[in-house]
Amino acid sequence: MHQALLIIDVQPSFSPPQWLIDGIQALIGTMPSVATVERHDESKTPFQKRLGWHPAPNDDSLIQADRIFIKYGYAPTAETIAYLKSLEVDRVLVCGLQAETCCLAAGFALFDAGLQPTLITDLTVGSSLDRSGGLGVRLWRHFTVNRQNT
């Protein structure tokens, strides 16, 4: 099976645990990899106004993926999805931070684009609401983005 790895927002603003960085890093080089970095621009996504918080305007990925895409907001950009589609993969493995928001948004975007997303539950962390990522995993299953664990 031809797969790609989509790494969601593993960046300093979200304080990822070292085990997550190490686990994802172990997959780099085994398949094509893409990372997203969420940056802040209040004119594009009103994080400060709505949430009283925002990611840094200049964060970089802590994972050296093959390609890195900057995004503003929860979902991956159209360019990110187009690049993943251009790889002609059978499945996109999703991991990273914010399981119940950004990872879920990525799953929906991949699904809507006709790709097969699969959440790597052992390499996913939730937000401050549920750092375990359990809520995100349950939402992923509930919305049938993919009922399969890797």
Evaluate whether 110 touches 94 at the Cβ level (below 8 Å). yes
Please provide residue 78's backbone torsions phi and psi, each rounded to the nearest 5 degrees. Answer: -60, -35
pTM: 0.86
CA distance 73 to 70: 10
pLDDT higher than 70, residue 91 = yes
Q: Where are the domains of the chain?
A: 3-142
**The total number of residues written for the chain in this structure:** 150
108-147 pLDDT, tens digit per residue, is: 999 999 999 999 999 999 776 666 666 667 777 756 544 4
Fold (CATH) for 3-142: Rossmann fold (3.40.50)
Model confidence at 149: pLDDT above 50: no
Higher per-residue pLDDT: 132 or 96: 96
Is residue 7 within 8 A of residue 80, CB to CB? The reply is no
What does the pLDDT read at residue 41?
A: 76
Task: Kindly report, residue by residue over 28-67, the tens digit of the pLDDT.
Answer: 999 999 999 998 777 777 677 777 777 787 889 999 999 9
On the question of pLDDT at 94 being above 60, the answer is: yes
Give CA–CA dist 62/138, Å, rounded. 26
Burial class (CB in 10 A: 0-12, 13-18, 19+), 147: exposed
